[in-house]
């Protein structure tokens, strides 16, 4: 990338008091002692539950810093796991026992909901209003949960099945819904103040000392979809495509190149110009959502490891 010294940060580390390691699609998660974890946001990018072959410069920093900002801005609504950000792309905090579901909240008919709507107006047991166009607002936000797959594709699931399978109790489900809707409303308020519309997002929760706690990332471009508010109504009335900031443009590019993560499909090649474009779109979203200029902080694996170990020493095992 022009003028940038870039480190991808793809190594797996070994830390003092490390108890576990998990490499997800985007994040590497290290268990530290019995009660803490360190989460490294890599520059890997996934779509259709497939990790694409090349990293996106500074994507990890963008995700990590947006998530840290949003976790701080929503802590009054719901307790969360975050304690510190030892490095630009690293978060550290408390270990929760995760619910094996993702709480997907949708304010607009877009993406997976729109693709489903063209076949049926039922999604995750929720009936969507008839007569809507793509990107229209729902009368009120809806929750369309999915399973949290360890590998492969997440699957839509209804509240009834969640409770029947013991993935959450009735009381837990009610609390998860209350938290998810309140968090979404706060996210929409923040987005509106920046000239954006938070169209949909997902939240992950866990239990910490029998208390429901918000985990992982919040309101980032990997977990959320934003529209530009300026001109939204005019574009809807004209039947035009909405201008958005999200990872959906990557999915659209893959679809245009005949890839949707299905068996036998090959991931299309990503040239340097396209990788740079994706990186710039992530940075643009950071600057729009946070309202501040993005300052790339290239960091080597060695420096990252040193900073994480300094945080671990603070825990005073």
Rounded to whole angstroms, the Cα distance separating 277 from 41 reads 20
- Average of per-residue pLDDT across 116-138: 96
Q: What is the pLDDT of residue 150?
A: 60
Rounded to whole angstroms, the Cα distance separating 29 from 22 reads 5
Number of domains in the chain: 1
Residue recorded with tokens 């679809």: 255
In a domain, 39, yes or no: no
pLDDT tens-digit map of 201-224? 999 999 999 999 999 999 998 899
* Higher pLDDT among residues 198 and 1, named by residue: 198
- Average of per-residue pLDDT across 281-285: 89
Rounded to whole angstroms, the Cα distance separating 251 from 47 reads 6
Asked if residue 288 has pLDDT above 80, the reply is yes
pLDDT bucket at 6, cuts 50 / 70 / 90: very low
In a domain, 2, yes or no: no
In a domain, 257, yes or no: no
The structure's pTM equals 0.89
Output the domain CATH number for residue 234: 3.30.470.20
The lowest-confidence range among 41-55, 56-70, 145-159, 210-224 is 145-159
In a domain, 254, yes or no: no
Residues comprising the chain, all counted:
317
- Average of per-residue pLDDT across 14-20: 96
pLDDT bucket at 180, cuts 50 / 70 / 90: very high
pLDDT bucket at 244, cuts 50 / 70 / 90: confident
Q: What is the pLDDT of residue 152?
A: 55
Rounded to whole angstroms, the Cα distance separating 208 from 213 reads 6
Distances (CA, A) of 264 to 250, 258, 261, 267, 308: 20, 11, 9, 10, 40
In a domain, 264, yes or no: no
Write the DSSP symbol of residue 11: -
Asked if residue 273 has pLDDT above 60, the reply is yes
Q: What is the pLDDT of residue 2?
A: 41
Asked if residue 11 has pLDDT above 80, the reply is no
In a domain, 5, yes or no: no
In a domain, 82, yes or no: no
Pairing of strands 224-228, 137-143: unpaired
Q: What is the pLDDT of residue 249?
A: 86
In a domain, 171, yes or no: yes
Q: Residue 143: which domain range?
A: 98-246
Rounded to whole angstroms, the Cα distance separating 129 from 111 reads 16
Rounded to whole angstroms, the Cα distance separating 310 from 227 reads 39
Positions of E strands within the chain: 18-23, 27-32, 36-41, 46-47, 50-51, 82-87, 90-94, 97-98, 101-108, 122-123, 126-127, 137-143, 146-147, 196-208, 211-215, 224-228, 244-246
């Amino acid at each position: 990338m022009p003028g940038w010294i870039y480190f991808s940060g793809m190594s797996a580390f070994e830390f003092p008091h490390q108890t576990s390691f998990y490499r997800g699609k985007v994040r590497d998660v290290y268990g530290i002692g019995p009660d803490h974890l360190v989460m490294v946001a890599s520059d890997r990018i996934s779509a259709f539950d497939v990790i694409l072959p090349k990293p996106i410069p500074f994507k990890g920093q963008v995700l990590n810093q947006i998530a840290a900002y949003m976790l701080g801005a929503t802590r009054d609504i719901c307790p969360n796991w975050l304690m510190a950000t030892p490095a630009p792309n690293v978060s550290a905090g408390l270990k929760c026992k995760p619910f094996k579901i993702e709480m997907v909240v949708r304010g607009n008919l877009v993406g997976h909901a729109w693709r489903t709507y063209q076949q049926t107006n039922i999604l995750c047991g929720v009936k969507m209003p008839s007569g809507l166009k793509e990107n229209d607002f729902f009368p009120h936000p809806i929750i369309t949960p999915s399973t949290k797959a360890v590998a492969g594709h997440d699957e839509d699931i209804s509240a009834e099945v969640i409770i029947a399978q013991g993935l959450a109790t009735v009381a837990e489900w009610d609390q998860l819904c209350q938290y998810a809707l309140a968090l979404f409303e706060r996210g929409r308020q923040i987005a509106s103040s920046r000239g954006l519309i938070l169209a949909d997002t997902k939240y992950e929760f866990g239990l910490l000392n029998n208390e429901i706690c918000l985990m992982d990332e919040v309101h980032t471009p990997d977990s959320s979809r934003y529209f530009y508010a300026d001109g939204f109504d005019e574009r809807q009335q004209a039947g035009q495509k909405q201008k958005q900031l999200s990872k959906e443009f990557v999915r659209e590019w893959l679809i245009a190149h005949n890839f949707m993560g299905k068996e036998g499909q090959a991931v299309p090649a990503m040239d340097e110009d396209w990788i740079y474009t994706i990186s710039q779109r992530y940075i643009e979203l950071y600057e729009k959502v946070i309202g501040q200029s993005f300052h790339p902080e290239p960091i080597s694996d060695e420096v990252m490891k040193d900073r994480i170990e300094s945080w671990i020493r603070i825990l005073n095992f």
